[in-house]
Amino acid sequence: MNQTSSASRVDHRVVLLKCDDYEKLPQVLQQGVKLLGGIQQYCKPGEHLVLKPNLLLGDRPEKGTTTHPEFLKAVAAFFQAAGLRISFGDSPGVGSPLGAARSSGMLDVAAPLGIELADFSTETEVSNPGGLLIKHFHVAQGVINADGVINLPRFKTHGLTRMTGAVKNLFGCLPGLQKAAFHAQLKDESQFGKMLVDLAELISPRLHIMDAITGMEGNGPRNGTLRKVGLVLISSNPHALDHCVARLMNLDPELVPTLRVADVHGLYHPDKIQVLGEELEPLIMRDYDVNRSRIPTTGPLELYLGLFKNWITPRPVIDTEKCTQCGRCVRVCPADPKAIQFTNGRNSPPQYDYERCIRCYCCQEMCPDEAISIKQPLLGRIVGTCAP
């Protein structure tokens, strides 16, 4: 794992190019990387790079949950043509990396290119002395073994962090139960965002190449509505790229916890961002369905916690007509004791105890039946609209 975070922070260039079809992606990649000075700026022939797609679960490509397999294929072929040795991997929220890679279609496109699945099941402890919050991470062995990482996030909304982008996608570099443990430990969105920023700075991918050909809005990152976006974004700076993603969604970047942390701590400077290729302003989707409330997704400040928490804070809600009582929401809940349980066996949907709920939204994220959405109580909607 070759860290280059200081270099990525200096470079605030973000390439924004139109691409409405995966067949056009090879030409778009050539053009985009050329705008950044060429592939030689980011890697050398013979190096081993691991591609890190968004492989939340092993959903088929048409669901829009994952980085599209054709996107992975085009990026892999691009770097292979430059003399790089390529592997790929991610640690999904449920199931094994192999199973998710197979069922998502990624193995099908990787095999003809000779691309192996990297080890995202075992881990190695890595010191992070410069971390804002986390001083040690247990990182996937596949990341450790590579010379560098190419990050391939997907353009989507997210219940906890409002959008998932370059920084959030790197959470999958932590194998196994660590992700649930961090949700349980860091119950405030700002603290959780600080951890994600620490991890992104530690992993420090060479490039971030976002699949925004089709995006997901609404109840993301898994059960939202697909929307044609028709873009590809490329940058060496994950915070600058995510800033542009937020703006394209017509979302105030200050509402994204990772961007707020990165800005406060000088890891990027919004006024220094230089967009190359297309102009950003005409491409902003004013009606994009994303959470723009000023109320934090994990609840207001300490002053409001307790009595007012359940009157204001967004919370997961089960659609009983869609729920199949599969129990995944109960299994993935990281709260201790669990915030969601079956109270009548499997004869009816599980029930929430919102006093225990830490608002991590893992249940909503992992529901296989699109039965859980995030709702904000009326008072929260009023306060969120009126807040400065």
Residue 387: pLDDT over 60: no
> For 140-159, what is the mean pLDDT?
97
CA distance 205 to 3: 8
- Position 285, amino acid: M
| pTM for this model (two decimals) | 0.92
Of 215, 243, 242, whose CA–CA distance to 228 is shortest?
Answer: 215
- Position 124, amino acid: T
Delimiting residues of CATH 3.40.50.11440 domain(s) in the chain: 5-283
- pLDDT per position as a tens digit, 235-251: 999 999 999 999 999 99
Delimiting residues of CATH 3.30.70.20 domain(s) in the chain: 302-386
Q: What are phi and psi of 367, to 5 degrees?
A: -60, 125
> For 42-50, what is the mean pLDDT?
97
Residue 5: pLDDT over 60: no
Asked whether the bond before 388 is cis by omega within 30 degrees of 0, the reply is no
Confidence of residue 93 (pLDDT cuts 50, 70, 90): confident
CB atoms within 10 A of CB 86: 24
| Percent share of the chain, pLDDT over 70 | 91
- DSSP classification of residue 24: G
Residue 305: pLDDT over 70: no
CA distance 15 to 279: 10
Q: What does the mean pLDDT of the chain come to?
A: 92
Residue 304: pLDDT over 60: no
Give domain 302-386's CATH architecture: 2-Layer Sandwich (3.30)
> For 43-62, what is the mean pLDDT?
94
**DSSP run (H or E) holding 139:** strand 136-140
Contact yes or no for 117/110 (Cβ under 8 A): yes
Residue 46: pLDDT over 80: yes
Least confident residue range of 65-69, 73-77, 182-186: 182-186
How far out from the chain centre does Cα 124 lie?
22
> For 138-167, what is the mean pLDDT?
97
Collapsing DSSP to helix, strand or coil, 190 comes out as helix
Q: What's the topology of domain 5-283?
A: Rossmann fold (3.40.50)
CA distance 292 to 285: 13
Residue with tokens 């919370």: 315
CA distance 336 to 261: 27
